[in-house]
Structure 1
Amino acid sequence: MSSISNFQILAVNASDAAIWTFVVYTLLVFVIAGFANNLLKGRSFLSEYFLGSRGLGVWAFALTFAATSASGGSFTGFPAKIYTHGWILALWIASYMVYPLCTMGLLGKRVNQVARKSGAITIPDVLRDRFDSRSFGLVATLLIVFFLSFNLIAQFKAGSVILQTLIQDVDAFKGLSGFVGSSVSGMDFFSEVDPGYFTCLVLFGVLVIVYTTYGGFHAVVWTDVMQGVVMIAGVAIMLPLTLSQVGGLRSGTEQMARMIPPRIGTASMELADSTDSPRALTNIWIAQTNSDDIRQIYRLSGSIAIPAGEKVIDDIPVVEIRTPEEVERLWDKFFSELPESAWHQIGPAESNIRQAAVEGNFVLGATESGIDILCTFGEFQDFEYGAERTGHYVSGPAPMPPKPDQDDGPTDAEVAAAAGFLPLGMAISFFFMWAISGTGQPQYMVRLMAFKDSKTLRRAIITVTIYYGLIYFPLVVIFCYSRILLPGMENEADRIMPAMAVTLTENAGYGWLAGLLVAAPFAAVMSTVDSFLLVISSALVRDVYQRNISPNASETTIKRLCYLTTLVIGTIALVCAINPPAYLQDIIVYVGSGLAACFLFPVVALLFWKRSNTAGCLGSMLVGFGTHLFMHVLSWWRGGEFTDPVNLFGFSPVVVALAASLIAVLVITPITPKPAEHLVKKYFEKE
Structure 2
Amino acid sequence: MGGPALTSFVIYIGGVLALAWLANRLLSERNFLSEYFLGGRSLGVWAFALTFAATSASGGSFTGFPSKIYSHGWILALWIGSYMVVPICMMGLLGKRLNQVARISGAITVPDVFRDRFNSTAFGLLATALIVFFMSFNLVAQFKAGSLILKTLLDGVELFQSSALRLGISVTDWPLLGGVDPQYLLCLLVFGVVVVLYTTYGGFHAVVWTDVLQGVVMVIGVVVLLPLTLHQAGGLQRVTEEMAQMTPPRSGVVELTVAPDEPERVVAGGKWAWIEGEGGQRTLVRLAESVIIGSQTDRVANVRVLELTTPSQIERVAISDQTVWLDSEMKLTDLRTTPYASGEAPGAYVTGPGPSQHEVDGFLPLSLAVSFFIMWAIAGSGQPSGFVRLMAFRDSRTLRHAIATVTIYYSLIYFPLILIFCCARVLLPGMETESDRIMPAMVIFVTDHAGLAWLGGLVVAAPFAAVMSTVDSFLLMISSALVRDLYQRTLRPDAQERIVRRLSFGVTMLVGFGAVLGAIDPPRFLQDIIVYTGSGLAACFLTPTVFALYVPRSTTAGCMAGMLGGFGTHLAMYGAGIFAHGSFFRPVHLFGLDPILVGLAVSFLITFVVTRATPPPPASQVERYFYRA
Partner in structure 2 of residue 144 of structure 1:
131
Partner in structure 2 of residue 112 of structure 1:
99
1:647 aligns with 2:589: yes
Partner in structure 2 of residue 266 of structure 1:
253
Structure-2 separation of matches of 1:392 and 1:362: 29
Contact map agreement 2:354 2:363 (CA 8 A) in 1: yes
Contact map agreement 1:302 1:492 (CA 8 A) in 2: no
Structure-1 separation of matches of 2:151 and 2:411: 29
Q: Give unpaired runs (5+ residues) of structure 1.
A: 1-13, 335-359, 367-371, 403-416
Which amino acid letter does the alignment assign opposite residue 572 of structure 2? F
Q: What is the deviation of 1:481? A: 1.3
Using a 3 Å threshold, how does the CA distance of structure 1 residues 517 and 324 change in structure 2: closer, same or farther?
same
Structure-2 separation of matches of 1:259 and 1:584: 25
Structure-2 separation of matches of 1:89 and 1:116: 40
Q: What is the deviation of 1:58? A: 0.5
Identity %: 56
Structure-1 separation of matches of 2:205 and 2:262: 51
Q: What is the deviation of 1:253? A: 0.4
Partner in structure 2 of residue 391 of structure 1:
347
Q: What is the deviation of 1:518? A: 1.1
Q: What is the deviation of 1:287? A: 2.4
Structure-2 separation of matches of 1:41 and 1:374: 66
Q: What is the deviation of 1:378? A: 4.0
Match of 1:54 among 36, 41, 49: 41
Using a 3 Å threshold, how does the CA distance of structure 1 residues 253 and 556 change in structure 2: closer, same or farther?
same
Partner in structure 2 of residue 8 of structure 1:
none
Match of 1:516 among 451, 455, 458: 458
1:605 aligns with 2:561: no
Alignment of 1:175-186 (within 5 A): 175-186=162-173
Contact map agreement 1:61 1:460 (CA 8 A) in 2: yes
Structure-2 separation of matches of 1:472 and 1:670: 42
Q: Give unpaired runs (5+ residues) of structure 2.
A: none
Contact map agreement 1:257 1:392 (CA 8 A) in 2: yes
Contact map agreement 1:258 1:323 (CA 8 A) in 2: yes
Q: What is the deviation of 1:637? A: 3.6
Q: What is the deviation of 1:516? A: 1.1
Partner-residue secondary structure (3-state), 2:453: coil
Partner in structure 2 of residue 68 of structure 1:
55
Using a 3 Å threshold, how does the CA distance of structure 1 residues 272 and 42 change in structure 2: closer, same or farther?
same
Partner in structure 1 of residue 65 of structure 2:
78
Structure-2 separation of matches of 1:270 and 1:393: 35
Contact map agreement 1:317 1:491 (CA 8 A) in 2: no
C-alpha root-mean-square deviation of aligned residues, in Å? 1.8
Q: What is the deviation of 1:310? A: 6.4
1:560 aligns with 2:502: yes
Using a 3 Å threshold, how does the CA distance of structure 1 residues 386 and 638 change in structure 2: closer, same or farther?
closer
Structure-1 separation of matches of 2:405 and 2:252: 46
Using a 3 Å threshold, how does the CA distance of structure 1 residues 669 and 445 change in structure 2: closer, same or farther?
same
Structure-2 separation of matches of 1:361 and 1:18: 25
Partner in structure 1 of residue 603 of structure 2:
661
Structure-2 separation of matches of 1:152 and 1:518: 20
Which amino acid letter does the alignment assign opposite residue 348 of structure 2? H
Partner in structure 2 of residue 342 of structure 1:
none
Which amino acid letter does the alignment assign opposite residue 286 of structure 2? R
Partner in structure 2 of residue 529 of structure 1:
471
Structure-1 separation of matches of 2:541 and 2:203: 25
Partner in structure 2 of residue 443 of structure 1:
385
Which amino acid letter does the alignment assign opposite residue 565 of structure 2? V
Contact map agreement 2:272 2:324 (CA 8 A) in 1: no
- The range that moved more, 60-69 or 173-182, is 173-182
Q: What is the deviation of 1:187? A: 2.8
Match of 1:33 among 16, 20, 23: 20
Partner in structure 2 of residue 623 of structure 1:
565
Structure-2 separation of matches of 1:49 and 1:27: 21
Structure-2 separation of matches of 1:202 and 1:302: 23
Which amino acid letter does the alignment assign opposite residue 564 of structure 1? G
Partner in structure 2 of residue 675 of structure 1:
617
Contact map agreement 2:268 2:290 (CA 8 A) in 1: yes
Q: What is the deviation of 1:15? A: 3.2
Q: What is the deviation of 1:153? A: 0.5
Contact map agreement 1:73 1:588 (CA 8 A) in 2: yes
Using a 3 Å threshold, how does the CA distance of structure 1 residues 306 and 222 change in structure 2: closer, same or farther?
farther
Contact map agreement 1:301 1:489 (CA 8 A) in 2: no
Which amino acid letter does the alignment assign opposite residue 598 of structure 1? C
Structure-2 separation of matches of 1:642 and 1:362: 36
Q: What is the deviation of 1:173? A: 1.2
Structure-1 separation of matches of 2:45 and 2:119: 32
Which amino acid letter does the alignment assign opposite residue 337 of structure 2? F
Contact map agreement 1:264 1:318 (CA 8 A) in 2: yes
Contact map agreement 2:134 2:536 (CA 8 A) in 1: yes
Partner in structure 1 of residue 310 of structure 2:
323
Q: What is the deviation of 1:612? A: 0.7
Alignment of 1:360-439 (within 5 A): 360=322, 365=327, 373-387=330-344, 389-402=345-358, 417-439=359-381
Using a 3 Å threshold, how does the CA distance of structure 1 residues 277 and 321 change in structure 2: closer, same or farther?
closer
Which amino acid letter does the alignment assign opposite residue 29 of structure 1? V
Structure-1 separation of matches of 2:623 and 2:606: 25
Q: What is the deviation of 1:17? A: 1.5
Structure-1 separation of matches of 2:201 and 2:297: 46
1:131-185, CA deviations, whole angstroms, 9 ceiling, x for partnerless residues?
1011111101000000000000010111111111111221111111111111111
Q: What is the deviation of 1:374? A: 2.6
Structure-2 separation of matches of 1:563 and 1:274: 56
1:494-546, CA deviations, whole angstroms, 9 ceiling, x for partnerless residues?
01001001001111111121111111111100000000000000000000000
1:575 aligns with 2:500: no
Partner in structure 2 of residue 90 of structure 1:
77
Structure-2 separation of matches of 1:484 and 1:662: 45
Aligned residues: 629
Partner-residue secondary structure (3-state), 1:379: strand
Match of 2:203 among 192, 216, 237: 216
Structure-1 separation of matches of 2:289 and 2:183: 11
Structure-1 separation of matches of 2:617 and 2:543: 17
Partner-residue secondary structure (3-state), 2:375: helix
Which amino acid letter does the alignment assign opposite residue 62 of structure 2? F
Structure-1 separation of matches of 2:173 and 2:254: 25
Partner-residue secondary structure (3-state), 1:394: coil
Contact map agreement 1:164 1:200 (CA 8 A) in 2: yes
1:635-687, CA deviations, whole angstroms, 9 ceiling, x for partnerless residues?
22446111111110001100100110111111111110101111111101123
Structure-2 separation of matches of 1:488 and 1:140: 43
Partner-residue secondary structure (3-state), 1:318: strand
Q: What is the deviation of 1:75? A: 0.3
TM-score (norm 2): 0.97
Which amino acid letter does the alignment assign opposite residue 604 of structure 1? V
Partner in structure 2 of residue 475 of structure 1:
417
Q: What is the deviation of 1:96? A: 0.3
Match of 2:215 among 225, 228, 249: 228
Partner-residue secondary structure (3-state), 1:87: helix
Structure-1 separation of matches of 2:549 and 2:48: 22
Partner-residue secondary structure (3-state), 1:86: helix
Partner in structure 2 of residue 21 of structure 1:
8
Partner in structure 2 of residue 157 of structure 1:
144
Q: What is the deviation of 1:432? A: 2.2
1:41-76, CA deviations, whole angstroms, 9 ceiling, x for partnerless residues?
121000000111111111000000000000000000
TM-score (norm 1): 0.89
Partner-residue secondary structure (3-state), 1:298: strand
Contact map agreement 1:386 1:398 (CA 8 A) in 2: no
Contact map agreement 2:272 2:323 (CA 8 A) in 1: no
Using a 3 Å threshold, how does the CA distance of structure 1 residues 314 and 500 change in structure 2: closer, same or farther?
farther
Partner in structure 1 of residue 535 of structure 2:
593
Q: What is the deviation of 1:305? A: 5.6
Q: What is the deviation of 1:293? A: 3.3
Partner in structure 2 of residue 251 of structure 1:
238
